[in-house]
């Protein structure tokens, strides 16, 4: 019996505004127009209000004399400096405390996160208590505690606590030796760059060698030894002279050395301790996400516990750890603005505080401050996304 194929009818055509793709474009266009109109309305309204109050806009105030001093700065700053220099001082102070906080928070967080999974009952419980206490107390209260209850309660200058390496701690701050470089110290930076380049090249070579032969190479120890050797040779050949200025107690205060004010110490310590508690939980969750069979396979190969963690568990856990770790880095950077509460001269305190009060340029000052934190966040996210792409596992 012959089967007659019926002609396949084409699907009915719909109008263009019923097409899901075209409709999506239309909605996006309308939303974009609405957002643009909203910002135009805000701009016009702001300009009219400023004109009604006889206020002008512009950034010419940045070249006026600031007329105030800052307690701690990485560059020279006094009352005769300009407002743009005050902006740079606040920016550098924010970068400094954020970089130090990220460094120590990462080390403490990974250590505590691994300790929470330790088979030692005491170590695991101590890590748990630390995490549960620190992350459930507001950061501002912790900063008040470290500043007022700890550092401000330190002995007076004449009864300073003597610490190793010629350092002293008192209620005025933390005094440490300061290295002093001569005019040939630039060669040391060149030597450091060569040591870093050597370490990167050695790591790439060792990874390719491991993939090709299955044999490991002690990259870390070799890099450290080679870096010390390169720096030592650079120091000897260039004739660089590095001396140290040690803090010495004079009549009313220490002279010499490097003085770290209590506001800086409290903020850096508080940010590190607080953020590390959240990083610890991120690390613990990342390690838990790795299949237990991976640990058992590493044990069957005879790997020690430290090698299992470093070579098998952590590399696989990083794809889970990095996204929330990026958020914690961003939170730490933005939380550095709380330093204004304890008098640390970071960006919000120096620029969005003192400068705004003296100039009255609210729009310009707040806009520049917001742009700085936005830039910090975007750069940090871009770097962590790049690193996440490098450590991501390639499935076959």
Q: What is the pLDDT of residue 100?
A: 94
Q: Which residue has the tokens 């005019």?
A: 183
Contact (CB, 8 A) for 264 and 344: yes
pLDDT per residue as tens digits for the range 78-99: 888 899 999 999 999 999 999 9
Q: What's the average model confidence in pLDDT over 361-382?
A: 89
Residue 160 has pLDDT above 50, yes or no: yes
Kindly report the average pLDDT of the chain as a whole number: 84
pLDDT per residue as tens digits for the range 16-45: 666 777 777 888 888 999 999 998 888 788
Under the banding of pLDDT at 50, 70 and 90, the label for residue 12 is low
Least confident interval from 76-90, 117-131, 221-235, 253-267 = 221-235
Secondary structure, 3-state, 44-110: HHHHHHHHHCCCCCCCHHHHCECCCCCCCCCCCCCCCCEHHHHHHHHHHHHHHHHHHHHHHHHHHHH
pLDDT per residue as tens digits for the range 203-212: 888 878 777 7
CA distance 149 to 369: 31
CATH code 3.30.70.2190 for 83-154+260-391: no
Q: Higher model confidence: residue 366 or residue 182?
A: 366
- Which residues make beta-bridge pairs with 178? 245
Q: Higher model confidence: residue 19 or residue 376?
A: 376
Under the banding of pLDDT at 50, 70 and 90, the label for residue 276 is very high
Tokens for 199?
């370490």
Q: What is the pLDDT of residue 18?
A: 67
E strand or H helix at 314, and its extent?
helix 314-335
Tokens for 349?
């305190």
Q: What's the average model confidence in pLDDT over 153-168?
A: 85
What are the b/e assignments for 56-71, b being 16+ CB within 10 Å? eeeeebbeeebebebe
CA distance 37 to 214: 62
Contact (CB, 8 A) for 172 and 262: yes
Q: What's the average model confidence in pLDDT over 178-189?
A: 81
Q: What is the pLDDT of residue 1?
A: 47
Q: What's the average model confidence in pLDDT over 135-150?
A: 92
Query: First and final CA of the chain: distance in angstroms?
Result: 51
Under the banding of pLDDT at 50, 70 and 90, the label for residue 3 is low
Q: 34: exposed, middle or buried (C-beta count within 10 Å: 0-12, 13-18, 19+)?
A: exposed
Q: What is the pLDDT of residue 199?
A: 83
pTM to 2 decimal places: 0.80
Least confident interval from 78-87, 124-133, 185-194, 385-394 = 385-394
Q: Higher model confidence: residue 56 or residue 9?
A: 56
* Domain limits, the chain: 83-154+260-391
Q: What is the pLDDT of residue 130?
A: 94
Residue 10 has pLDDT above 70, yes or no: no
Q: What's the average model confidence in pLDDT over 4-21?
A: 61
Q: What's the average model confidence in pLDDT over 141-155?
A: 90
């Amino acid at each position: 019996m012959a089967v007659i194929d019926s002609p396949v009818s084409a699907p009915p055509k719909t109008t263009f505004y019923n097409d899901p793709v075209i409709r999506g474009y239309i909605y996006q266009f309308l939303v974009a127009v609405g957002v643009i109109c909203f910002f135009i309305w805000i701009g016009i309204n702001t300009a009219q209000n400023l004109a009604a109050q006889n206020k002008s806009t512009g950034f010419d105030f940045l070249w006026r004399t600031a007329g105030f001093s800052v307690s701690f700065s990485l560059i020279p700053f006094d009352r005769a400096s300009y407002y743009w220099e005050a902006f740079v001082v606040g920016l550098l102070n924010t970068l400094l405390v954020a970089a130090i906080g990220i460094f120590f928070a990462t080390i403490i967080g990974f250590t505590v996160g691994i300790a929470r999974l330790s088979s030692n009952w005491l170590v695991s419980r101590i890590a748990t208590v630390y995490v549960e206490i620190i992350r459930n107390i507001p950061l501002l209260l912790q900063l008040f505690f470290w500043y007022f209850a700890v550092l401000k309660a330190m002995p007076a200058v004449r009864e300073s606590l003597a610490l190793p390496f010629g350092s002293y701690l008192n209620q005025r701050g933390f005094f440490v030796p300061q290295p002093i470089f001569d005019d040939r110290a630039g060669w040391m930076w060149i030597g450091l760059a060569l040591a870093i380049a050597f370490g990167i090249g050695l790591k790439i070579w060792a990874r390719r060698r491991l993939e090709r032969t299955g044999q490991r190479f002690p990259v870390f120890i070799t890099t450290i030894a080679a870096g010390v050797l390169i720096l030592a040779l650079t120091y000897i050949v260039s004739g660089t002279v590095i001396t140290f200025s040690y803090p010495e107690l004079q009549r009313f205060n220490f002279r010499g050395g490097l003085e770290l004010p209590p506001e800086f110490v409290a903020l850096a310590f508080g940010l590190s301790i607080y953020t590390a508690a959240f990083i610890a939980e991120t690390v613990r969750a990342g390690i838990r996400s790795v299949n237990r069979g991976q640990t058992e396979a590493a044990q069957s190969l005879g790997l020690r516990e430290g090698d299992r963690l470093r070579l098998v568990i952590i590399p696989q856990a990083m794809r889970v750890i990095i996204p929330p770790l990026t958020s914690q880095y961003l939170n730490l950077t933005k939380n550095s603005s709380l330093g204004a509460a304890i008098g640390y001269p970071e960006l919000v305190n120096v620029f969005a505080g003192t400068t705004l009060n003296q100039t009255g340029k609210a729009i310009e000052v707040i806009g520049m401050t917001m742009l700085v934190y936005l830039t910090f966040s975007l750069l940090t996210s871009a770097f962590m996304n790049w690193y996440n792409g490098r450590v991501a596992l390639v499935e076959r």
